[in-house]
Amino acid sequence: MRVSTMQLHNSMSGNIQTASTGVSKTMMQLSSNKRILAPSDDVFAASQLMGLDDDLSQLEVWSSNIKSATTMLSNQETALKDINNNMNRARDLAISAKNGSKSQEDLEAIAKELEQVVETIADLTNTKSSSGEYIFGGTKGDTAPIKKAASGWDNNSSSSTRKIEISDSQSASLGVTSEQLFGSSAEFLEEMDTFIAALKNPSTDNAAAVDKVIKDIDKAQKSVNESITTIGAEVNTLKAAETTNADKQLANKSMQSSLEDLDFAEATTRLSVQQTMLTAAQKSYSSTIKLSLFNYV
């Protein structure tokens, strides 16, 4: 084929351009360690990556929810254990009141201490979280759950707790409410008040009152212990969910990296081939350009 002088120049400079474009793209891939620099480089992989990105941010949110739920449940657990200890104390005091040798003065002292125990239990039930929410208030966390009323006690909590998402198929219940603990009108506290009143009244048969209150305390403790067990089970579920979540995040990231990360060995080999090609194109240009019949005429 006949080749004109301009054509020769054009095609050789075209070769150099093609070779240097290749080198520059490989260099960009190497410096970002990414195989895909724009979605159009690999549309299919890019669309998978977008889905994986969305999944990952969802997993991160669930992981943060798991942490929040764990904190809330452990706050409740601590408070419930304290309540349980105070109930034990109430039971000891009640039993000591059964002893016939106690004077009315002694009984008054026991009643006074029991009043304090009741108040502590009420305070513990009204525990607030760091954000100011009553932890046993359920979905009415802005109102103190337990409140001394004109006669007896008011229990203001909601009947159930919130749920939050912890995975695509699971949600966690955030513990128990004071209604679940003590009944809708805080019966336990009222029963304690009745007992205290009986102790203070010299004409009551203390032995019968003590027997009744022990039963009441047993029943309340059973409820508290059941709650502690429920919370423990919930915490275990959260731990399992956290492990699954972490596994999924790991799998997601490794899938992302297999889709978008650069095969370093392949890229460096490619770079050196491209550089050789570029050098060859430049050398052949510079040597061809010197050839001209005019040099010999």
Binding positions for other proteins, rule: CB under 8 A: 1-7, 10-11, 14, 38-41, 43, 46-47, 50-51, 53-54, 57-58, 60-62, 64-65, 68-69, 72, 129, 131-133, 137-142, 158, 162-165, 174, 292-294, 297
10 vs 116, beta carbon nearer other proteins: 10
57 vs 203, beta carbon nearer other proteins: 57
106 vs 261, beta carbon nearer other proteins: 261
* Minimum distance, C-beta of residue 198 to other proteins, in the bound complex (Å): 37
62 vs 182, beta carbon nearer other proteins: 62
* Minimum distance, C-beta of residue 161 to other proteins, in the bound complex (Å): 9
SS (H, E, C) 68-127: HHHHHHHHHHHHHHHHHHHHHHHHHHHHHHHCCCCCHHHHHHHHHHHHHHHHHHHHHHCC
Report long-range pairs for 168-172 (Cβ below 8 Å, ≥24 apart). Answer: 168/58, 170/237, 170/241, 172/65, 172/66, 172/69, 172/234, 172/237, 172/238, 172/241
* Minimum distance, C-beta of residue 173 to other proteins, in the bound complex (Å): 12
Structure tokens at 221: 């403790």
Distance CA 50, CA 39 (A): 10
47 vs 258, beta carbon nearer other proteins: 47
* Minimum distance, C-beta of residue 140 to other proteins, in the bound complex (Å): 5
* Minimum distance, C-beta of residue 116 to other proteins, in the bound complex (Å): 30
Distance CA 288, CA 15 (A): 13
Token pair 């429920």: residue: 230
137 vs 180, beta carbon nearer other proteins: 137
* Minimum distance, C-beta of residue 256 to other proteins, in the bound complex (Å): 14
Distance CA 107, CA 200 (A): 7
Coil vs helix vs strand at 132? coil
The answer to whether 134 and 128 have CB atoms below 8 angstroms apart is yes
191 vs 234, beta carbon nearer other proteins: 234
* Minimum distance, C-beta of residue 271 to other proteins, in the bound complex (Å): 21
What CA dihedral angle connects 154, 155, 156 and 158, to 10 degrees? -160
Query: Residue 163 is inside which H or E element, if any?
Result: strand 163-165
Distance CA 36, CA 42 (A): 7
* Minimum distance, C-beta of residue 267 to other proteins, in the bound complex (Å): 20
Instruction: Please work out, in degrees rounded to the nearest 5, the angle formed at the alpha carbon of residue 185 by the alpha carbons of 138 and 92.
Output: 100
102 vs 140, beta carbon nearer other proteins: 140
